[in-house]
Structure 1
Amino acid sequence: MAATCIMKQVEERHVANEITKCVWSPKMDLVAIANIKGQVAMHRLSWQRVWVISAPGEGVKVTGLAWRPDSKILAVGYSTGDVVLVDIEDSSSVHKLNVSAEVTALSWAAHIPEEPTAEETMFADTSDNYLPPLPSLSKTYTGGTVEDQEEGWHEGRLLQDQTCLTLLTVGTVSAAIHLYAFGLFHCATVDLSEAVPGAGKVLDATPSHDLHLLSCLAEREAGSGREVVHATVETLVLAYHHRELHALARRYGQILGLMSYASHTLTLLEEAWESILLELDHKLADYARTVPDGGVAADFLELLVFGRTSSEFEVFLLSNELTEKGLKKLGNSIELSYSNIQKLVLRNVQAVGQALVHQLSALMGLARCHDRFGVLGVEEAAVGRAVQEAGAFVLKAVELQQVIDAAMTTFKAFLRWLYVVVQRARAESVPEDMTRGTQQDLTYIAEFLHDGLEDSPASGADSAEGERRPRFRLERVGQYLKDAPLSCPPESGPNPWAAFLEKHPALATHSLIFPHHRDRSLVQERNSLAGVLENMASQPAQVISQVITVASWVSMVAVEEGATVNVSQISCPRDSAVYTVVLPCSGKSLLYLARWPTTPEVLVRASAGPGPAHHVEAMPFVFSRLDGARSSSQDHTSASPILKLMGAQFYTEETLSVLAQDPADPRTSLFIQLWVVAAAGELKSLALYGSRTLAEVGLTPCDAGALVDASGFRRLEGGPLATLAVSGSRKVALLLSENRRRVRLFEMEVDEDDEDDEDEDAAAQHESIMNASGASDDQADAL
Structure 2
Amino acid sequence: MLRFPTCFPSFRVVGEKQLPQEIIFLVWSPKRDLIALANTAGEVLLHRLASFHRVWSFPPNENTGKEVTCLAWRPDGKLLAFALADTKKIVLCDVEKPESLHSFSVEAPVSCMHWMEVTVESSVLTSFYNAEDESNLLLPKLPTLPKNYSNTSKIFSEENSDEIIKLLGDVRLNILVLGGSSGFIELYAYGMFKIARVTGIAGTCLALCLSSDLKSLSVVTEVSTSGASEVSYFQLETNLLYSFLPEVTRMARKFTHISALLQYINLSLTCMCEAWEEILMQMDSRLTKFVQEKNTTTSVQDEFMHLLLWGKASAELQTLLMNQLTVKGLKKLGQSIESSYSSIQKLVISHLQSGSESLLYHLSELKGMASWKQKYEPLGLDAAGIEDAITAVGSFILKANELLQVIDSSMKNFKAFFRWLYVAMLRMTEDHVLPELNKVMTQKDITFVAEFLTEHFNEAPDLYNRKGKYFNVERVGQYLKDEDDDLVSPPNTEGNQWYDFLQNSSYLKESPLLFPYYPRKSLHFVKRRMENIIDQCLQKPADVIGKSMNQAICIPLYRDTRSEDSTRRLFKFPFLWNNKTSNLHYLLFTILEDSLYKMCILRRHTDISQSVSNGLIAIKFGSFTYATTEKVRRSIYSCLDAQFYDDETVTVVLKDTVGREGRDRLLVQLPLSLVYNSEDSAEYQFTGTYSTRLDEQCSAIPTRTMHFEKHWRLLESMKAQYVAGNGFRKVSCVLSSNLRHVRVFEMDIDDEWELDESSDEEEEAGNKPVKIKEEVLSESETENQQAGAAAFAPEIVIKVEKLDPELDS
Task: Specify the TM-score bucket, using the shorter chain as the normaliser.
Answer: 0.7 to 0.9
Q: Structure 1 residues 449-458 or 663-672, which shifts more?
A: 449-458
Aligned to 1:550: 551
Distance 1:12 1:339 in 2: 56
Identity, in percent, stands at 32
The answer on whether the counterparts of 1:142 and 1:271 sit within 8 Å (CA) in structure 2 is yes
Q: Structure 1 residues 327-336 or 739-748, which shifts more?
A: 327-336
Residue from 643, 668, 689 that aligns with 1:672: 668
Change (3 A) 1:441 1:581: same
Q: How does 1:241-256 map to 2 (within 5 A)?
A: 241-256=244-259
Change (3 A) 1:546 1:700: closer
Q: Structure 1 residues 522-531 or 620-629, which shifts more?
A: 620-629
Aligned to 1:374: 377
Offset from partner CA, 1:593-621 (integer Å, 9 cap, x none): 11111225349xx9xxxxxxxx9921222
1:403 has 2:406 as partner: yes
Query: SS where residue 35 of structure 2 aligns?
Result: strand
Shift of 1:406: 0.9
The answer on whether the counterparts of 2:156 and 2:164 sit within 8 Å (CA) in structure 1 is no
The answer on whether the counterparts of 1:231 and 1:551 sit within 8 Å (CA) in structure 2 is yes
Residue from 91, 111, 116 that aligns with 1:109: 116
Distance 1:768 1:293 in 2: 84
Change (3 A) 1:56 1:314: closer
Aligned to 1:624: 622
Aligned to 1:305: 309
Distance 1:6 1:556 in 2: 34
Aligned to 1:611: none
Q: Structure 1 residues 67-76 or 659-668, which shifts more?
A: 659-668
Amino acid at match of 2:643: Q
Distance 2:15 2:450 in 1: 76
The answer on whether the counterparts of 2:277 and 2:467 sit within 8 Å (CA) in structure 1 is no
Aligned to 2:143: 135
Amino acid at match of 1:333: S
Aligned to 1:93: 100
Distance 1:114 1:181 in 2: 18
Aligned to 1:652: 646
The answer on whether the counterparts of 2:591 and 2:597 sit within 8 Å (CA) in structure 1 is no
1:761 has 2:774 as partner: yes
Shift of 1:146: 7.7
Residue from 453, 459, 462 that aligns with 2:457: 453
Aligned to 1:643: 637
Residue from 431, 439, 445 that aligns with 1:441: 445
Aligned to 1:205: 208
Offset from partner CA, 1:353-412 (integer Å, 9 cap, x none): 111111111111111112211111111111111101111111111111111111111111
Aligned to 1:781: none
The answer on whether the counterparts of 1:155 and 1:254 sit within 8 Å (CA) in structure 2 is no
Aligned to 1:394: 397
The answer on whether the counterparts of 1:296 and 1:470 sit within 8 Å (CA) in structure 2 is no
Aligned to 1:737: 736
The answer on whether the counterparts of 1:569 and 1:580 sit within 8 Å (CA) in structure 2 is yes
| Cα RMSD, aligned residues only | 3.4
For structure 1, the 5+ residue unaligned runs are 194-198, 461-465, 607-614, 775-783
Change (3 A) 1:309 1:324: closer
Distance 1:150 1:113 in 2: 36
Distance 2:477 2:135 in 1: 33
Shift of 1:329: 1.9
Change (3 A) 1:719 1:307: closer
Aligned to 2:418: 415
Query: SS where residue 698 of structure 1 aligns?
Result: helix
Change (3 A) 1:751 1:630: closer
Distance 1:337 1:373 in 2: 46
Query: SS where residue 357 of structure 1 aligns?
Result: helix
Change (3 A) 1:310 1:374: same
Residue from 332, 340, 349 that aligns with 1:346: 349
Aligned to 2:768: none
Amino acid at match of 1:548: M
Query: SS where residue 623 of structure 2 aligns?
Result: coil
Q: Structure 1 residues 496-505 or 227-236, which shifts more?
A: 496-505
Shift of 1:686: 5.0
Normalising by structure 2, report the TM-score: 0.84
The answer on whether the counterparts of 2:69 and 2:83 sit within 8 Å (CA) in structure 1 is yes
Aligned to 1:262: 265
Distance 1:203 1:731 in 2: 26
Aligned to 2:70: 64
Aligned to 2:760: none
Query: SS where residue 228 of structure 1 aligns?
Result: strand
Residue from 547, 562, 572 that aligns with 2:579: 572
Change (3 A) 1:113 1:144: closer
Change (3 A) 1:159 1:125: farther
Aligned to 2:601: 593
Distance 1:344 1:118 in 2: 38
Query: SS where residue 437 of structure 1 aligns?
Result: coil
The answer on whether the counterparts of 1:631 and 1:664 sit within 8 Å (CA) in structure 2 is no
The answer on whether the counterparts of 1:556 and 1:695 sit within 8 Å (CA) in structure 2 is no
Amino acid at match of 2:102: H
Residue from 648, 663, 681 that aligns with 2:657: 663
The answer on whether the counterparts of 2:234 and 2:555 sit within 8 Å (CA) in structure 1 is yes
Q: Structure 1 residues 243-252 or 709-718, which shifts more?
A: 709-718
Change (3 A) 1:698 1:771: closer
Shift of 1:440: 1.5
The answer on whether the counterparts of 2:558 and 2:695 sit within 8 Å (CA) in structure 1 is yes
Change (3 A) 1:103 1:655: same
Aligned to 1:779: none
The answer on whether the counterparts of 2:31 and 2:729 sit within 8 Å (CA) in structure 1 is yes
Shift of 1:765: 7.7
1:295 has 2:295 as partner: no
Shift of 1:121: 4.5
Aligned to 1:54: 59
Q: Structure 1 residues 420-429 or 671-680, which shifts more?
A: 420-429
Distance 1:755 1:455 in 2: 93
The answer on whether the counterparts of 2:281 and 2:467 sit within 8 Å (CA) in structure 1 is no
Q: Structure 1 residues 376-385 or 682-691, which shifts more?
A: 682-691
Change (3 A) 1:723 1:468: closer
Change (3 A) 1:299 1:225: closer
Aligned to 1:177: 185
Offset from partner CA, 1:202-241 (integer Å, 9 cap, x none): 1101011201001111123467743321100111111111
Shift of 1:764: 7.9
Distance 2:14 2:318 in 1: 81
Residue from 26, 29, 52 that aligns with 1:25: 29
Offset from partner CA, 1:283-326 (integer Å, 9 cap, x none): 32222121456521111122223444433333334x23343323
Change (3 A) 1:514 1:754: farther
Amino acid at match of 1:407: S
1:485 has 2:486 as partner: yes
Distance 2:616 2:422 in 1: 89
Amino acid at match of 1:618: L
Q: Structure 1 residues 651-660 or 336-345, which shifts more?
A: 336-345
The answer on whether the counterparts of 1:453 and 1:473 sit within 8 Å (CA) in structure 2 is yes
Amino acid at match of 1:653: D
Distance 1:493 1:572 in 2: 70
Shift of 1:582: 0.6
Amino acid at match of 1:582: F
Distance 1:20 1:595 in 2: 27
Amino acid at match of 2:538: A
Query: SS where residue 339 of structure 1 aligns?
Result: helix
Distance 1:74 1:467 in 2: 41
Distance 1:166 1:693 in 2: 34
Distance 1:12 1:644 in 2: 25
Aligned to 1:726: 725
The answer on whether the counterparts of 2:717 and 2:804 sit within 8 Å (CA) in structure 1 is no
Shift of 1:72: 0.7
